[in-house]
Structure 1
């Protein structure tokens, strides 16, 4: 019995070794911190909740320091607008809402300390589908809030990716 267990363990180890090597070779790594092309950043505009989340992500995920004075910053990120939309996708035979589409649009642009554009006016658009049941209004409102929060986190990460893609100009 002990011999069978040892063989089973050995076979399991041999079978899982290629999977471990495959996972290591695919390029997977933890997100870690991103290096941005500027040491100081000022973020302005937009919804206060979104702004707080964006500033928290910049502070935790980059080596860039956030400053309160735009004149002291090497770059200024402007959040021009955030729009949340709720569209009806389908109705039941009785005319009740069955499915919604939630949309989040974030408009932004970025300038350097001299006012030269680093990121032209851009927009991030996200959407999620939500099945709706008017007998569970409270639960669906909470699910909707959760989906908007998820889209907001997604938008913050996409903005960080775009900030990380900026390369310093020569001269």
Structure 2
């Protein structure tokens, strides 16, 4: 009977361990989305009228382990270009295509570029019938926020995975 209890305890322990691994549990310090140590302190520089992007970048960078700081030794995430565009195609059904292009790079504490400029593009489209209730503005505002959120996540993922191409020195 004693052997049966030991086997049951081992099976229960293995089952609980497999359940934790299966649900994505990781011990602290092994977060696969944590940023490289070099970028642990960062400042964000954005063009005008990009409050939503600043909010999203701040949220995702801090959750990835970056301390947002204006100190002199902090790296700078510099957004060089923020270009939202809307294309309207008319017909019986009206189709709108929304595109957001963002170009960014990382600068060192002295303001010298460390990485090549990188452009991220996100696109969404939606259709509506002009003869029915007009919800175009609501849908446009919602999808614009979705695009900003998507681009902010892509930027943070690229910083976290250290996939940004370093600046090649001029020869």
TM norm. shorter chain > 0.5: yes
TM-score (norm 1): 0.68
Hey, which of these two has a bigger chunk of helix by percent? 1
Q: Distance in 1 between matches of 2:80 and 2:60?
A: 19
How far did residue 117 of structure 1 move? Answer: 3.2
Deviations 1:82-125 (A, max 9, x none): 11111123423xxxx61111111111111222444333111111
Which structure is higher in RCO with an 8 Å CA cutoff and minimum separation 6?
2
Do 2:33 and 2:157's aligned partners in 1 also have CA atoms closer than 8 Å?
no
Deviations 1:124-170 (A, max 9, x none): 11111110222322x22111111111111110110001111228x9x
Change (3 A) 1:166 1:100: same
Q: Counterpart of 1:40?
A: 41
Q: CA RMSD in A?
A: 3.0
* Structure 1 residue runs of 4 or more that deviate by more than 4 Å after TM superposition: 27-33
Q: Distance in 1 between matches of 2:86 and 2:39?
A: 37
Question: Structure 1, unaligned stretches of length 5 or more?
Answer: 1-19
Do 1:133 and 1:140's aligned partners in 2 also have CA atoms closer than 8 Å?
no
Q: Distance in 2 between matches of 1:133 and 1:38?
A: 48
How far did residue 50 of structure 1 move? Answer: 1.0
1:118 has 2:114 as partner: yes
Hey, which of these two has a bigger chunk of strand by percent? 1
Q: Counterpart of 1:63?
A: 65
Aligned residues, how many?
Answer: 139
